[in-house]
Amino acid sequence: MIRFDQVTKRYPGGHEALRNLSFTVESGEMVFLAGHSGAGKSTLLKLVSGIERATSGNVLVNNQNLSKLRASQLPYVRQHIGVVFQDHKILFDRTVFDNVMLPLDIIGFDRRDAQRRVRAALDKVGLAGKEKVMPIRLSGGEQQRLCIARAVVHRPSILLADEPSANLDRAYALDIMELFKSFHQVGVTVLISAHDETLMEDYGRRIIRLREGQFAA
């Protein structure tokens, strides 16, 4: 469950990226986040994942109020969240396998169990057999799949994706959307941002539209 209660985010320098937003995404829901560049989509996702903090208002994730948590408590909330970052954050000096292993290393997972999970995640996104490949040798679409495998390898209950279909051709973008749908179908709460609304329309899901940090019509 994700709940925003009158959330405002003002960055240092005074820019208000989100203004007094309230909404709820129920557990197991798949919701799209639309809006032009600069509308506040990334900021909203960063507040959910605890990368940024709200200036005012409350952000609740799985009934934990992130606005009131101490920084030391955040990692426990983050263990239930998977993030596909807009800038990928792939480590190009590590293999595909090691990139996906990273979140489990951070949690301190049992090694053998972790290896099993990494293989399962790579299989799920269609990258089985590419474990030893260096990411630079993957296509753009495959790199995006690598990011998705890394985001789901710890089996989060919430999956956030910031413009996961940007820079992909339409057929590939739709494939990626299908992949997110498959996580939603097994009960994961999914929140995906995109500026191309035509990618969202076929799914019949709720679309939260932002313009200048507020809900757009």
Residues that bind ligand ATP (CB under 6 A): 11, 13, 15, 17, 35, 37-43, 163
- State the nearest-atom distance from the C-beta of 111 to ligand ATP, in Å: 37
Q: Would you call 84 helix, strand, or coil by DSSP?
A: strand
CA–chain centroid gap for 47, Å, is 11
Nearer to ligand ATP, 42 or 189 (CB): 42
Identify whether the C-beta of residue 3 lies closer than 8 Å to the C-beta of residue 63.
Answer: no
72's CB contacts (< 8 A; 6+ apart) are none
- State the nearest-atom distance from the C-beta of 37 to ligand ATP, in Å: 3
Nearer to ligand ATP, 11 or 92 (CB): 11
Calpha distance 96→146 (Å, rounded): 7
- State the nearest-atom distance from the C-beta of 47 to ligand ATP, in Å: 10
Tokens of 56: 């005012």
Closest CA to 192 of 162, 148, 150, 151: 162
Tokens of 204: 């019949």
Identify whether the C-beta of residue 47 lies closer than 8 Å to the C-beta of residue 66.
Answer: yes
Nearer to ligand ATP, 88 or 94 (CB): 88
Nearer to ligand ATP, 38 or 57 (CB): 38
- State the nearest-atom distance from the C-beta of 86 to ligand ATP, in Å: 6
φ, ψ for residue 144 (rounded to 5)? -65, -40
- State the nearest-atom distance from the C-beta of 163 to ligand ATP, in Å: 6
Identify whether the C-beta of residue 57 lies closer than 8 Å to the C-beta of residue 67.
Answer: yes
Nearer to ligand ATP, 43 or 99 (CB): 43
Nearer to ligand ATP, 17 or 153 (CB): 17
Identify whether the C-beta of residue 188 lies closer than 8 Å to the C-beta of residue 156.
Answer: yes
- State the nearest-atom distance from the C-beta of 207 to ligand ATP, in Å: 14
